[in-house]
Amino acid sequence: MPVNLPLRTAQLLSALASLALVMGAYASDGHGHGEAEKPAKEAKAEKPAEKKSAEKSGEKAGEKASEKGADKPADKPTAVLPPASSGSVSMSELRDMIDQKIAEVRAKREAPPVLKVRHSSPSPSPSPKPSAKPATQVAAAAPTADEHKPGAAMLGHDVHWAYMGDTGPESWGRLKPEFQTCMVGRRQSPIDIRDGIPVQLDPIQFEYRSSGFRVIDNGHTVQVNVEQGNSITVNGRRYELVQFHFHRPSEERVNGRQFDMVAHLVHKDAEGRLAMVAVLLSQQGAAHPVIQQVWNNLPLEKHQEQAAQSDIDLNRLLPDQRQYYTYMGSLTTPPCTEGVLWLVMKQPAIVSPDQVKVFGKLYPMNARPVQAASGRLIKEGM
């Protein structure tokens, strides 16, 4: 019986392709691990046996097809294979085609291991750059010269606030978190006192007596610490005198007028609320005895407290007329705490030009600029 060679060739190729796919799947599951590493000679030695088995299978399939061919035409070749050539195919060409097909299947199955090997042995690369430090680590870094500029205190370092320069009033609110009120507060002091409502205010009850005192130059002003027992009562509340200090020129202004100096007398009640009495000082005459007593006890070094050998009577510091302006404000130095009751005496006290010059040698200017009134109510005593 004549053999249909093109048909047998197509069937043989289809069987070999299926066999190769099965072998590849079997190897990918780990059963054939290491087959890809066999030498080329061993691989070729196995091919004749595979080819003989494939040829036998192809002959049987061809015989069945020839028997059925008498009743109906032969089946068409599988779509995945190219149409068989009408010419004859030699056995050597057939072997080459089989070898090529097997090599293609093995190459596809061996590709992933090659990628894995390359991934596990990457080419040398430059050392990675250090990652950026978190904000908390930057804050803990060693101090640098730049940390002494405004805002350095936000990193945990203390900054000496001042009245001029980089740490002046415009920067106070950025020097430390607790100073932020200096920048964002709505009831800040000092202010330009104007447009006050004229009313009959209850008089301030001053309960001052002769007391021992100590003088200190704290780096911002001359401060006088007074012994306990001096107080004021206003609006039914009693405030104890803690200390008083000076500013040049005056921080408060009255209808735009600024005075030569001002004395701030700081009082505190039992609940910690503050009341500030401001006595404006004008250089228009003789020396003031209380101011001179303070100047006589100035310490020779800053931050060293000088105890006076005599008592001081602050009643003599107050003007004869006790009418005052009042409003709510803040401390005029950091941390600029708000909620301070201000009582500014309308009549200034008189000091001599020489007394103003003495303070000016220590502090030529230690006054915070006026702050916005922000619509706050100001009462003017009549």
Which residues are marked as active site? 220
Please, what is the Cα angle at 245 between 241 and 250, to 5 degrees?
120
Residue spans of alpha helices (H) in the chain:
5-28, 40-68, 91-120, 135-139, 172-175, 181-184, 289-296, 353-362
* Residue 298 Cα distances to 266, 303, 371, angstroms: 20, 11, 31
Map residue 274 onto helix, strand or coil: strand
> Which value, to the nearest 10 degrees, does the dihedral of the CA atoms of residues 205, 209, 212, 213 take?
30
Contact criterion met (CB below 8 Å) for 167 and 161: yes
What residues contact 57, with CB distance under 8 A and at least 6 apart? 12, 15
Residue that the structure tokens 């590493």 belong to: 37
Q: Is the dihedral of CA 104, 109, 112, 115 positive or negative?
A: negative
First vs last C-alpha separation in the chain? 140
Q: d(Cα 91, Cα 114) in Å, to the nearest integer? A: 34
The DSSP bridge pattern shows strands 274-283 and 261-268 to be antiparallel
Q: Which residues contact 309 (CB under 8 A, 6 or more apart)?
A: none
